[in-house]
Structures are given as structure tokens and as C-alpha cells.
Amino acid sequence: MSRLREHYRQSVISQLQKELGIKNIMAVPRMTKVVVNMGVGEGAANIKVLEAAMEELARITGQKPGMRRAKKSIASFKIREGNPVGTSVTLRGNRMYEFVDRLFNIALPRVRDFRGVPVRSFDGRGNFTLGLKDQLIFPEIDYSHVESTRGMNVTFCTSARNDQGARRLLELLGMPFRRQPE
């Protein structure tokens, strides 16, 4: 079992129950899935760029990513409907907890001038999206084999009904939120 999952079961559940006033243990907010998305706009013109992005995402997450295709044609971006434009992975269970543990404790501290994650990225329903500008912060990526840097979005889907419960859950799991000036 993952170290972060064990921490969630041992201490986070009881602490959230007390803080949020929840009596039923099954109603305590939990992470349901983590979606990692990497957009590759030039993948329509050069399939090798998309394959490199898929390989890097597989190395980062430990799971084979799926190719995402354009839903609409957009002439200004030179994209036709059905062209490959990105790659994504949905993580659940132990793989999700392992990825989140590595993200919080290894990858995010490697970001240059890192002062914390902004708090304003919640969607109103208890989900949080984090944008990363560079895939090189993950130790699984070999710097010498990377042709270009690519950003990615990491979405944390929780069972919390509001942003306050989801924020507290992520704080207790170790998300380094930016401190608000008081």
C-alpha cells in the first residue's frame, strides 16, 4: 500500500471528520482520481512529437496514456477534426497515491522559485487543477533525451461537495498551497 494512502487512512480521515463535523466515515472527502493531461498542438503535423509526449507521460505516471483527438476544426490553429492534439492519463487507486506523493514531495519542490500552489484553481465542486510548465521537474525524465519542454495539467478530482472540504483534504495530504497574506 502507498505511503500517502496509509497516511490518509491513519490520520487524515479522523482529522477531516472533526474539522468538517462529519459523523459518517464514508462521507469524508477523498480523492477519486487524478487526470494528467499534456496538450501537444504540433502533434497533428508531426506524429513523432506526440509519441515522445506519450512516452514521457507514461514514464512520469507509470501508466500508458491515451491519445486525444480534436473535437472541432479550428482554422486559425491549423487543426482539423480528428487530428491528434494531446495525450492524457487517468490515475486511480495505488498509482494515483504514488503519483501524488511523488508530485508533492519530489517534483514541486524542484520548480524554480516555487512559493506554493495558487489557491484559486478550484472549480466550485471540489476539484483542483494544477498547471505545470515543464515536464523536467519529474526525476523520471532524462534531460538529455528531451527535445522540447511541454507543460501539463494535473486535475485532482475529490468527493468533496465544496472547495473548502477539497482544499482541506489536499492540505492534509501535503499539497503545498501558497500562504495568503493576512
Each residue's pLDDT tens digit in the chain (182 positions)? 789 999 999 999 999 999 989 899 999 999 999 999 998 877 667 788 888 889 989 999 999 999 988 888 888 877 888 888 889 999 999 999 999 999 998 888 888 888 888 888 888 888 999 998 888 888 888 777 777 788 899 999 999 988 899 999 999 999 888 876 55
Which range marks the domain in which residue 78 is found? 3-173
Q: What is the pLDDT of residue 81?
A: 87
Q: Which of 1, 27, 33, 14 is nearest to 172 (CA)?
A: 14
- C-alpha cell read off for 125: 465542486
**What is the number of domains present in the chain?**
1
Flag whether 146 is in a domain. yes
Q: What is the pLDDT of residue 98?
A: 93
The CB-side HSE value for 52 (13 A sphere, CA atoms) comes to: 16
Report helix, strand or coil for 39. Answer: strand
Domain for residue 124, yes or no?
A: yes
Please report, for the domain that includes residue 104, its CATH number. Answer: 3.30.1440.10
In the beta sheet, which residues pair with residue 53?
Answer: none
Is residue 182, in this structure, part of any structural domain at all? no
21 found inside a domain: yes
Residue among 13, 8, 2 at smallest CA distance from 99: 2
Q: Answer yes or no: is 178 within a domain.
A: no
Alpha helices (runs of H) in 62-155, residue ranges in sequence order:
93-102
